[in-house]
Amino acid sequence: MKWSLSLVAFYALVACEAKTQSVATHSELWQQGQVIFDMNCKSCHSMEDEKLTGPSLHRFRITMDGTEARQSIIEPSRDIVPGYTDIMPQDFGTRLTEGQMDALIFYLTNG
Ligand code: HEC
């Protein structure tokens, strides 16, 4: 009896840990994305509704369109946002790893 109780307690603990861990990973991904954004994108883009050298990326937070965002980062010249010039660096697709790109997209689409 004593043994089975501690087994239950053990499983409850494992379940709890698994839960907190996934939450931590979630916010870690967001933070990682923010660091990448600050280092590579912030000089030209705002996450607020504000125009800099490049357009505000605020709308991706609202529409959550990660596919379109990813496309615009990998191939910036394919679709030029009206009113802007084609000066965005072309090499983010090779400069950022898959994992960094995923974190960045997560950050862009999750306010
Ligand atoms: C040297 C300035 C510059 C840097 C650095 C830069 N961009 Fe851009 N970006 C632009 C400009 C200018 C445009 C608008 C022209 C175009 O569409 O290519 C743009 C367009 C975009 C778009 C399309 C926006 C839309 O509304 O469709 C996305 C998404 C984007 N950039 C994301 C990023 C991300 C993420 C980074 C960092 C990894 C980054 N940019 C770095 C200048 C920059």
DSSP 25-71: HHHHHHHHHHHHHHHHTTTT--SSS--SSS---HHHHHH--HHHHHH
Q: Is 52 in the pocket of ligand 1 (CB under 6 A)?
A: no
Provide the pLDDT for residue 68.
95
Cα-to-centroid distance, 28 and ligand 1 (Å): 24
Distances from the Cα of 19 to the Cα of 7, 28, 56, 83, 87, angstroms: 19, 14, 35, 46, 43
| Angle between helices 66-74 and 98-109 in degrees, nearest 10 | 130
Pocket test for ligand 1, best of 35, 45, 94, 109 (most atoms within 8 A of CB): 45
Q: Is 35 in the pocket of ligand 1 (CB under 6 A)?
A: no
pTM of the predicted model as reported, rounded to 2 decimal places = 0.83
Ranges under pLDDT 70 in the chain = 1-24
Provide the pLDDT for residue 25.
77
Cα-to-centroid distance, 25 and ligand 1 (Å): 27
Provide the pLDDT for residue 110.
92
Provide the pLDDT for residue 6.
59
CATH numbers and ranges of domains, the chain: 28-109 (1.10.760.10)
